Amino acid sequence: QVVLQALPLAPVSVRLDQTASACAMGGGRDSDVGEAVEVTDGGGKWKVPTWQAPVQAVQLALHPDGPLINATRSGYLQKRAGSSKLRWNIRYFELKEGMIRWWRPSLKEQVFLPEIPRAVLMDPRPAPVRCLDLGRMTSLRRTKVKFPYSTRIEVLFDESYKKYRLELRAEKECEIIEWYRILQRFTDETVEREVDKDPEDEAAAQPEAGGL
């Protein structure tokens, strides 16, 4: 009769240290072996090698198009503002640094639609008809119309900033969809700008009229 006797196994910590040493000597990929970390379980504290970097608790979800402050787009759009329901005007729009502004092209340019209107190419560039801060936008609505343009977008701003209702459309469906995709980011993200001083702090620092 043959009696089999089980040999005692080495402690867990010893086996893991041996495995890590073997990997470091060529038994495994050097790039996968990290520093040992301490793990606590019911049996006490022991060390295990880290096979990959731990996931951070808080990570910045980067947008594939980059930071929102770098979002840019320009082109001709048809706009309808205020309470008008029939009047659509062709304007040249520019979105840059979190601001949307537009210029009024000449009648000839509204017909032939050159790549960039002459007013925008002037140096110095004339002031736009309007310039709005998209950081103060409260909502963005998208509506579909069967004819003559399938998609329209409506931009609403904070009433304390501007009581302005801007509705946009384009002759090409892909063009207005790209504008909608960029404007939608301003409802989910914020724009960070660097300024030398806060205007509110400067106003508070100025002495009141008639003071000492």
Confidence of residue 145 (pLDDT cuts 50, 70, 90): confident
User: Which of 21-25, 67-71, 126-130 is modeled with the greatest confidence?
Assistant: 126-130
- The predicted pLDDT at position 45 comes to 61
In whole angstroms, how far apart are CA 116 and each of 40, 62, 91, 93, 170? Answer: 66, 32, 11, 10, 16
Confidence of residue 159 (pLDDT cuts 50, 70, 90): confident
Question: What average pLDDT does the segment 9-16 reach?
Answer: 46
Could you tell me which residue, 123 or 32, shows the higher pLDDT? 123
Confidence of residue 153 (pLDDT cuts 50, 70, 90): very high
In whole angstroms, how far apart are CA 93 and each of 5, 20, 70, 104, 138? Answer: 85, 61, 16, 9, 20
Confidence of residue 151 (pLDDT cuts 50, 70, 90): confident
User: Which of 1-5, 20-24, 51-55, 189-193 is modeled with the greatest confidence?
Assistant: 189-193
Q: Which residue in 191, 163, 195 sits closest to 71, CA to CA?
A: 191
Backbone φ, ψ for residue 209 (5° rounding): -65, 135
Q: Is the pLDDT of residue 52 over 70?
A: no
Q: Is the pLDDT of residue 9 over 80?
A: no
Question: What average pLDDT does the segment 20-32 reach?
Answer: 48
Q: How far, in Å, CA of 136 to CA of 160, rounded?
A: 9
Number of neighbours of residue 98 by Cβ within 10 angstroms: 20
In whole angstroms, how far apart are CA 26 and each of 20, 101, 145? Answer: 10, 62, 66
Q: Is the pLDDT of residue 63 over 90?
A: no
Which two three-digit tokens encode residue 143? 């509506």
For residue 10, give the DSSP letter: P
CA torsion angle for 171, 174, 175, 178 (degrees, to 10)? Answer: 150
Strand partners, 77: 91
The percentage of residues in the chain with a pLDDT greater than 90, rounded to a whole number, is 30
Q: Is the pLDDT of residue 107 over 60?
A: yes
Q: How far, in Å, CA of 106 to CA of 100, rounded?
A: 20
- The predicted pLDDT at position 62 comes to 74
Question: What average pLDDT does the segment 139-154 reach?
Answer: 81
Classified as helix, coil or strand, 168 is strand
CA torsion angle for 15, 19, 20, 22 (degrees, to 10)? Answer: 140
